[in-house]
Chains A and B, each alone.
Chain A
Amino acid sequence: MKPATHYANEVASAPATATARMLADLMIQHAIGCVVIRDDEQRPIGIVTDRDLLCRVVACGLDPEQTPAGEIATKPVHCVPNDQPLEQVIALMRDANVRRAPVVEGGRLVGIVTLDDLVVQLSREIASLSTAATRSIDDTLRAGRWKRRREEFEDALASLEASAVSAGREVAGRVTRELDKLRERLRGPE
Chain B
Amino acid sequence: MSIGAYCRRDVATIDQDQTIHAAAVLMEERSLGCLLVTGGGGRPWGLITDRDLALRTIGGQLDPKQTRVAAVTELSLISIHEHLPVRVASLLMERSGVRRLPVLDAKDELVGIVAWDDLLGLFARELAEVASAAAAQTPRFPIPASRALSEITYQGVDQ
A→B interface (CB under 8 Å) = 20-21, 24-25, 27-28, 33, 50-51, 53-55, 57-59, 61, 64, 119, 126
B→A interface (CB under 8 Å) = 20-21, 24-25, 27-28, 33, 50-51, 53-55, 57-59, 64-65, 120, 127
Interface of A is mostly: helix
A20 to chain B, nearest CB (A): 6
Interface of B is mostly: helix
CA–CA, A35 and B51, complex, Å: 13
A58, B51: Cβ atoms under 8 Å? Answer: no
**Chain B neighbourhood of A64, CB < 8 A:** 58
A59, B58: Cβ atoms under 8 Å? Answer: no
B59, A51: Cβ atoms under 8 Å? Answer: no
Residue of A nearest to B64 (CB): A58
B64, A55: Cβ atoms under 8 Å? Answer: no
B59, A28: Cβ atoms under 8 Å? Answer: yes
CA–CA, A147 and B59, complex, Å: 66
Q: Which residue in B27, B57, B65, B127 is a CB contact (below 8 Å) of A55?
A: B27
**Chain A neighbourhood of B54, CB < 8 A:** 24, 50-51, 53-54, 57-58
B138 to chain A, nearest CB (A): 14
Residue of B nearest to A58 (CB): B24
Contacts A55-B24, A58-B21 hold; do A50 and B55 have CB atoms under 8 A apart?
yes
B77 to chain A, nearest CB (A): 21
Question: How many pairs of residues, A versus B, come closer than 8 Å at their CB atoms?
Answer: 55
A122 to chain B, nearest CB (A): 9
B73 to chain A, nearest CB (A): 14
CA–CA, A55 and B24, complex, Å: 7
Q: Which residue in A24, A25, A28, A59 is a CB contact (below 8 Å) of B28?
A: A59
Can you give 28 contacting A-B residue pairs, CB < 8 Å? A20-B58, A24-B58, A24-B59, A25-B59, A27-B55, A28-B55, A33-B51, A50-B50, A50-B51, A51-B33, A51-B54, A54-B24, A54-B51, A54-B54, A55-B27, A55-B28, A55-B50, A57-B58, A58-B20, A58-B24, A58-B57, A58-B58, A59-B21, A59-B28, A61-B21, A61-B64, A119-B120, A126-B127
**Chain B neighbourhood of A25, CB < 8 A:** 59
Nearest first, the 6 A-B pairs at minimum CB distance are A54-B54, A59-B24, A24-B58, A53-B54, A50-B51, A55-B28
Q: Which residue in A53, A55, A119, A126 is a CB contact (below 8 Å) of B58?
A: A53
